[in-house]
């Protein structure tokens, strides 16, 4: 116990499954090259730690913090981002 891997929950989720304040590590992107390139431009790649700032209802945009930057992702794009939730949600 106490290893770095212990701080991550085992379940892989969609970014749209997270709530404001949750912090997670990006595991994969399940969309085509264009979406992957767009996310790369925003600094969202596998291994990146992100925090959900706001999640709008009814499949609205999801606002995430990536480093010092906050970006809004459309629901479709956000749903393609697979993450692993941090057990220390909300803390970077």
CATH of the domain at 77: 2.30.30.90
In a domain, 92, yes or no: no
**pLDDT band with cut points at 50, 70 and 90 for residue 91:** very low
Query: What's the mean pLDDT when you consider all of the chain?
Result: 86
User: Could you tell me which residues are beta bridge partners of residue 51?
Assistant: 23, 65
11 confidence band (pLDDT: 50, 70, 90): confident
Q: Looking at the domain assignment, is residue 67 inside a domain? A: yes
Three-state SS for 70?
strand
User: Domain containing 46: what range?
Assistant: 4-86
Residue 91 lies in a domain: no
Query: What percent of the chain is predicted at pLDDT more than 90?
Result: 74
- 38 belongs to a structural domain: yes
Identify whether 76 is part of a domain.
Answer: yes
Q: Tell me the C-alpha distance between 31 and 46, whole Å.
A: 13
Residue 43 lies in a domain: yes
**Exposed e or buried b per residue across 46-67, where buried means at least 16 C-beta atoms within 10 angstroms of its C-beta:** eebebbbeebeeeeeebbbebe
Mean pLDDT of 6-15: 71
d(CA 49, CA 26): 6
In this structure, is residue 44 part of a structural domain?
Answer: yes
Mean pLDDT calculated for residue range 8-17: 80
Read off the pLDDT of each residue in 42-69 and give the average, rounded to a whole number.
94
């Amino acid at each position: 116990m106490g290893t770095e891997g212990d701080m991550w929950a085992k379940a892989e989720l969609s970014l749209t499954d997270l709530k404001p304040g949750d912090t997670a590590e990006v595991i994969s992107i399940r969309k085509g090259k264009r979406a992957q390139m767009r996310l790369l431009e925003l600094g969202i790649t596998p291994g990146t730690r992100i925090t959900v700032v706001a999640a709008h209802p009814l499949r609205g945009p999801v606002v995430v913090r990536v480093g010092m930057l906050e970006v809004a992702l459309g629901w479709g794009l956000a749903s393609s981002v697979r993450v692993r939730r941090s057990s220390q949600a909300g803390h970077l």
